Amino acid sequence: NAGVTQTPKFRVLKTGQSMTLLCAQDMNHEYMYWYRQDPGMGLRLIHYSVGEGTTAKGEVPDGYNVSRLKKQNFLLGLESAAPSQTSVYFCASSYSPSEIRYFGPGTRLTVT
């Protein structure tokens, strides 16, 4: 049981480049989330999904897209990276929206 995994762990992008972050969970959870953490800003929700094939916007969705084609995977895409997207990204999954118990280890992204 691997829990929540994230790929990659680190990435450096140039402004304008694109990339996809992959989140996978093996707990059969319906709910999956993407957060970003910036110094002094806490955890801010980017997008989330309440089930396979569904996605919804969170607090800071601009510049990101997501897809949930399979229940176990939640992808976060940056079409044209900007320096403001330099952050640590965490994926999470849960069986209930009111209680997240599992976060991934994070992806540190730097956009130059």
Partner 1 sequence: DQQVKQNSPSLSVQEGRISILNCDYTNSMFDYFLWYKKYPAEGPTFLISISSIKDKNEDGRFTVFLNKSAKHLSLHIVPSQPGDSAVYFCAASLGNTPLVFGKGTRLSVIA
Give the one residue of 19, 22, 27, 45 binding partner 1; rule: CB under 8 A.
45
Stretch of 11-19, 44-52, 61-69, 75-83 lying at the interface with partner 1 (CB under 8 A) = 44-52
Based on the shown chain and the rule CB under 8 A, indicate whether residue 4 belongs to the binding site for partner 1.
Answer: yes
Question: Whose Cβ is closer to partner 1: residue 83's or residue 105's?
Answer: 105
Nearest distance in Å: CB 15, partner 1: 25
Place of tokens 């069986």: 95
Residue 28, Cβ neighbours under 10 Å: how many?
9
Q: Is 112 exposed, middle or buried (0-12, 13-18, 19+ CB in 10 A)?
A: exposed
Return the number of the residue (1 or 40) whose C-beta is nearest partner 1.
Answer: 40
Q: Cα angle at 56 between 52 and 58, to 5 degrees?
A: 135
